[in-house]
């Protein structure tokens, strides 16, 4: 059954969001979450677990930085994403 699990993982169109490899993927996830409930749910899960499902340190750090920024300013991720340059600055 391991083969079936690998096959399913390779054909998951949202795998890039569920297991981001880069900070850029987190940027796309946050922007996409503004208009897609599935991406919103994935982003909420990342925020809840501190980015534990991310594939490397960079996206985990981006998730944590976005969470800190949003909580400091009392805004939602989508509001942070909408402000020009904020995400790029956080993810740089």
Q: What is the pLDDT of residues 24-79, one digit of tens each?
A: 999 899 889 889 999 999 999 999 999 999 999 999 998 988 877 666 555 555 55
pLDDT score recorded for residue 42: 95
* 9 is a domain residue: no
Q: Establish if 2 belongs to a structural domain.
A: no
Tokens of 61: 């750090």
Start-end of H helices in the chain = 2-10, 15-18, 23-33, 37-49, 57-73, 77-82, 86-91
The total number of structural domains that make up the chain: 1
Residue 89 has pLDDT above 90, yes or no: no
**What's the pTM?**
0.72
CB 59 within 8 A of CB 24: no
Q: Specify the pLDDT at position 91.
A: 56
Q: Does residue 14 lie in a domain region?
A: no
| Burial (0-12, 13-18, 19+ Cβ within 10 Å), 16 | middle
Q: Is residue 57 part of a domain?
A: yes
**79: containing domain:** 22-91
Indicate if the pLDDT at residue 84 is higher than 50: no
Instruction: Decide if 46 is inside a domain.
Output: yes
């Amino acid at each position: 059954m391991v083969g079936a699990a690998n096959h399913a993982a390779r054909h998951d169109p949202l795998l890039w969001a569920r297991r981001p490899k880069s900070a850029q993927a987190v940027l796309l996830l946050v922007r996409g979450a503004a208009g897609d409930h599935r991406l919103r749910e994935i982003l909420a899960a990342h925020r809840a677990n501190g980015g534990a499902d991310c594939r490397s340190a960079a996206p985990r750090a981006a998730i944590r930085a976005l969470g800190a920024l949003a909580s400091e300013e009392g805004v939602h991720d989508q509001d942070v994403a909408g402000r020009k340059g904020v995400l790029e600055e956080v993810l740089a």
